[in-house]
Amino acid sequence: MGRSLTRKLIEAHLVLGKPVAGEEIGISIDQVLLTDTNGTMSFLQFEAMGLERVVPARVVTYADHNVYQFDSRNSDDHRYLQTASRRYGAVFSKPGNGICHQVHVETFSVPGQTLLGTDSHTPLCGSAGMLAIGAGSLDVAVAMGGGPYFFTMPAVVRVWLTGALRPWVTAKDVILELLRRLSVKGGAGKVFEYDGPGLASLLLAQRMTIANMGAELTLTTSVFPSDEVTRSYLSRLGRGGDWRPQAADDDAAYDDQIDLDLSTIEPLVALPGSPDRVVPVSEVAGTPVEQVMVGSCTNGSWHDMASVTSVLRGRRVDPSVSFVLFPGSHRILSTMAREGLLADLLAAGATVSEPTCGSCAGIGHVPAAGTKSLRAFNRNFPGRSGVKDDEVYLCSSLVAAASALTGTITDPRTLGDEPDVQLPEAFAASDVGFVRPDAQGDVVRGPNIKGVPLGEPVAETIEAPVLLKLGDKISTDDISPAGSAVLVFRSNIPAISEFTFRYVDAELPARARAAGRGIIVAGEHYGQGSSREVAAIAPMHLGVRAVIARSFARIHRANLINWGIAPLVFDEAAALAGIERDDPLRLEGLRAALVAGARVPVLNTRTGASFTTSCVLTPREREILLAGGLLALTKQRGG
């Protein structure tokens, strides 16, 4: 029986465990990418572990979220990242050089290699035949020091593509269709591997969009073969020598298969609140919008920018609309200037931003209160845009361009024939934004950069109040909000902890401090979305010692364990209904149960009701959790 491409990539890097679905495995990491939002903590953790030099052959630090540097705290973080990168052996990508995933696939992607990143959209590089996975900052710091990355061997699902996209239908519609079918939790514990006769019709940029937003399905990652499309793309970048073929065996075995006929897909839109609230654009056509944006790591490619320009050329953006484009990289922006796209966009009334994640994480271009925003981005969790009670719709670049012309959500098929978009023979050369390491100089820390806190060993019994009762689909944006006011404190845990659950219950930090110890209870898929590790560290700092939920998102569950917070799962989902905020819960014999791999009994001392929870751990995870987290364990070992 043949092997899938995913299995080949894993087996080529396997250092511990057996690649059997559901079993824990450890793989070696060839490349690491860091962002300015999560990478600062990774480097602080790297230093806290006493490490002297990064081990993977390629580590790149990107200043791509806080590009606007609203105050000195942003600049301090960037200076720390640049000096730490120089000292410890990482390449530094300067503010304005571009969004990590776009720049990385352009400049450093190598088919067949592994990549671990501090951002949940790292799987974008799976479009180039890599095994690219997003993780928490501490797991990434360990990989920087040469340690394996541990995760549960996923089920490998083949997505069999047939047909070809019709005019005005895009790769964004492909991933939105999968979200419509499967929901944001439909990919949990899985890798999607794309194959089939329809694959050859998808450009590398289109594959990037699909692989990138696989994160919204909660996939471990997405994998595309490295084929002639991949070679063409790398050749246009002047990197044809880095290409190598990567493909599944013809008789490869898979755990499941999804069949998708590209010719049946139509333009789609995700309604405000969640990327899986997907409907045909025709159902919301005519909805007024005041803000339209195209970009982010999902839709910031050359193909996206050129497609928008082809629609706007010779036309004018509706006067009621603010239309902003975010090219994914300096290379794309340079190519746009060379090819004349900027002149056409400016003449049409569009605004072209410097390459940045920016408004995708609520940094800049925050919509006005009570207005609707249409975005060719990847996430629309409530409040993510930077304002509470926002109404953000997600769409393709073509839907966005058509809607910018009319001031309402518009089906682009009403514009007539879709303009033809051609790839340039060669992209502009771009290396001015990189600073190479030389192991020289001091690491500079500004006054906003604080030390890394440590968790405490799990107690034998926990008796603590329920600080917050939550429903399903709580995202890390809900736990630790995005936006410029918050992100300046990503290197300052005491300060950022004060924003924990800010838009859900602003009194939670004060209540947690008063209680000393606390528990959070929630429904399905707790911790979905961004990989932001602060969504675990800040609650730990506030005294949260357990989260009891119906289920957890993969990265957040790992982050909770890494910081000594017990991720407990209700054995009976109905038990959640009987719990209220402030209820005192007693977790009798918690530590002993974790050691034995037994169920953890929980008593609600207000009602007298009892229920049980489970915490299925590997031996490695158990040791980390019991010690109070990975850093605490490292300190215990003297490492």
Q: Average model confidence (pLDDT) for the chain?
A: 95
- DSSP, res 343: H
Give the residue from 359, 348, 340, 325 showing the smallest Cα distance to 405: 348
Residue 638: pLDDT band by 50, 70, 90 thresholds?
low
Residue 567: its pLDDT value, please?
Answer: 98
Q: Where in the chain is CATH 3.30.499.10?
A: 268-415
Query: pLDDT tens, 348-383?
Result: 999 999 998 878 877 888 888 999 999 999 999 888
- In words, the CATH class of domain 268-415 is alpha beta
Q: What is the torsion angle, in degrees rounded to the nearest 10, for the CA atoms of residue 368, residue 372, residue 377 and residue 383?
A: 60
Q: How many residues does the chain have?
A: 639
Angle at 111 between CA 106 and CA 117, to 5 degrees: 65
Average pLDDT over residues 261-271: 98
- Percent of the chain clearing pLDDT 70 (strictly above): 100
Residue 70: its pLDDT value, please?
Answer: 74
Residue 488: its pLDDT value, please?
Answer: 79
Residue 639: its pLDDT value, please?
Answer: 53
Q: pLDDT at residue 292 above 80?
A: yes
Query: pLDDT tens, 232-248?
Result: 999 999 999 999 999 99
Question: Between residues 625 and 387, which one has the greater pLDDT?
Answer: 625
151 forms beta bridges with 25
Residue 605: pLDDT band by 50, 70, 90 thresholds?
very high
Average pLDDT over residues 129-147: 96
- Percent of the chain clearing pLDDT 90 (strictly above): 87
Q: What is the Cβ-side half-sphere exposure of residue 15, based on CA atoms within 13 angstroms?
A: 13
Q: Are 608 and 578 in contact (CB under 8 A)?
A: no
Q: Where in the chain is CATH 3.20.19.10?
A: 462-637
Please determine, looking at this structure, whether the domain spanning 462-637 carries the CATH number 3.40.50.980: no
**How do 566-570 and 584-587 pair as beta strands?**
unpaired
